[in-house]
Amino acid sequence: MSGRTAGLALAALLLAGCAGAPPEPTAVVRTEAGELRGVVAADHLSYQGIPYAAPPVGELRWQPPKPVAAWTGTRAADRPGNACPQEGTEYAKTGSTTEDCLYLNVTTPRSGQRKPVLVWIHGDGVVGSGALFDGVPLATAGDAVVVTINYRLGVFGGFGYPGLAGSGTFGLADQQAALRWVKQNIGAFGGDPGNVTVIGSSYGGSSISAHLVSPGAQGLFQRASVHSGEALMPLPAGAVSPGIPAVDWFIWRSLAETEQVGAAMAAELGCADLDCLRKLPVDKLFPLMRMFQSYAYGGEVLPELPAAALRAGKAQPVPMVTGITRDEHRTFVGLFRAELSAAEYPKLVAEAFGAKADRILREYPLSQFESPALAWSEVLTDGLWATAAFEQAELGAQRGKTFAYSFADREAPSYLPFPQSLPPGAFHAADTPYLFPDKGFRDKAKPGQRELSERMLKYWANFARTGDPNGPGLPKWDEFGPAKYVQALAPGEATRQVDFPAQHRLEFWRGLR
């Protein structure tokens, strides 16, 4: 390099320093277990496949998560870790037979520190993984750190057996281990470990309700966002699919019953002890996935029934967002009951609600609906989802500032296999792609829906930052409070207050108890 060239280069560097030009971000961070190298993009940094606990394989199958082993050198964090074992379903064509799966992903803006952190707990309980949800839009629109996690599913996360420590709660314990990892390490990624919001839908939302009352989750998060959670819902006979009997709770089961079912299933599999069960191939256990989808209460992770603990005022007193979609149960009717006949409708109501059936049929006569499937959908949306969601908001408001919503875009892009005979409406989990908009959503969404997505991203980032979703340029969202305010989330000016109790006939359902 000539003297003149070197001088010009030095002058350029000095001018850049004087102008305050930010340094180029580095993708290398140090966690407690070792260094990670992520990927630098134009507007964010991403780190994928970060182990937060030891692989639950071999003797660690059906044990609480153990600490991850430290590594030397710099570990590549440029691709997702394995999804937890899952067989896939008619609505989610996923699959994995790998138990080495306790990984998480971090997306963070390119610069800055002490940013709010949102930890996403995906739903379903038998399929899914954190990597299926793109945290970039939420991280960049909200100037926040977004974490998505894997956790053990189905029989691997909820199995129970007499004398087995942690029976029925391994998936919940995984989630708490991920939250502890966040508390210990997220500062290295620019996040504030003292400002963590847990956010989840459906099974993930119910899991958050469990963490609100679980001793092991105390202090691991400061805000909660519960979407379409089933924590306070019973499950009437036949409500989800044919042949499913009534149970007291949609998502919870006692420890004694969980262990009893586990022992019976072990015998059917030809095993007399845990050692035998732990040696079974993953796919040999797939038929039991949904049988152990419920979490067990009565043990160390969940000492008591979460619904009872919530109603007794034992939840962590944290700010909360909670809500449902306008047409929750159309998803389940579309999957299992789409061709429902007029003659079958009263039989289903009678099977599910017994002596209360006649009153329900008078309140929801077929003459009010375009099809029996829509009638049955509305009965269960109102009687199960809306009733439980409103109670969750009422209980949350007793413990902290609470904001309630109804996702009301009845033309939301559908990513589920709905039959032509049943309009999806604002179906179960229809709001999730608006917070994690991927290419599929962007290709299908109309301009007003993309605008709603941008609005929701700001609402949730504001809530994570301050405990209040409101901010400049957004329609005002009042606190649930004594007025029982519920915000409808829909394109354009339809984002406004909705009379949720009237819309879902809550007075009727509460009088039916």
Residue 362 in domain:
yes
Cα–Cα nearest to 322, from 256, 253, 239, 223: 223
The tokens describing 380, both together, are: 């269960």
User: What whole-number distance in Å separates Cα of residue 305 and Cα of residue 210?
Assistant: 9
Query: How far is 463 from 193, CA to CA, in rounded Å?
Result: 16
Domain residue limits at 416: 25-511
**Residues, the chain:** 513
Q: Would you place residue 95 in the very low, low, confident or very high pLDDT band (cuts 50, 70, 90)?
A: confident
Q: Is the pLDDT of residue 17 over 60?
A: no
Is residue 505 included in any domain, yes or no? yes
CATH number, domain with residue 29 = 3.40.50.1820
Residue 457 covered by a domain? yes
Distance CA 506, CA 509 (A): 5
pLDDT in tens, 215-235: 999 999 999 999 999 999 999
Does residue 14 surpass a pLDDT of 60? no
- Residue 47: the pLDDT is 98
User: Is the pTM higher than 0.85?
Assistant: yes
Catalytic residue positions, numbered: 202
pLDDT of residue 337: 86
Please state the domain count of the chain: 1
The answer to whether residue 139 is domain-embedded is yes
User: Which are the contacts of 74, defined by CB distance < 8 A and separation ≥ 6?
Assistant: 28, 34, 35, 36, 37
Residue 7 has pLDDT above 50, yes or no: no
Closest CA to 295 of 118, 174, 429: 174
Evaluate whether residue 20 is within a structural domain. no
Q: Across the chain, what does the average pLDDT equal?
A: 93
**Cβ neighbours for 271, distance < 8 A, ≥ 6 positions apart:** 277, 280
Tell me the pLDDT band of 10, cut-offs 50, 70 and 90: very low
Integer distance in angstroms from the first to the last C-alpha of the chain?
85
Answer whether residue 190 shows pLDDT above 60: yes
* 83: pLDDT strictly greater than 60: yes
Considering only residues 88 and 481, tell me which one the structure prediction assigns the higher pLDDT: 481
Establish if 8 belongs to a structural domain: no
Q: Is residue 440 part of a domain?
A: yes
pLDDT band at 213 (very low <50, low <70, confident <90, very high): very high
Mean pLDDT of 34-52: 97
Per-residue confidence band for 26, with pLDDT thresholds at 50, 70 and 90? low
Taking only the tens place, the pLDDT of each residue in 358-368 is: 999 999 999 99
Q: What is the pLDDT of residue 312?
A: 98
Domain assignment present for residue 5? The answer is no
Mean pLDDT value across residues 394-419: 94
57 in Cβ contact with 100 (< 8 Å): yes
Identify the CA nearest to 181 among candidates 101, 127, 106, 129. Answer: 106
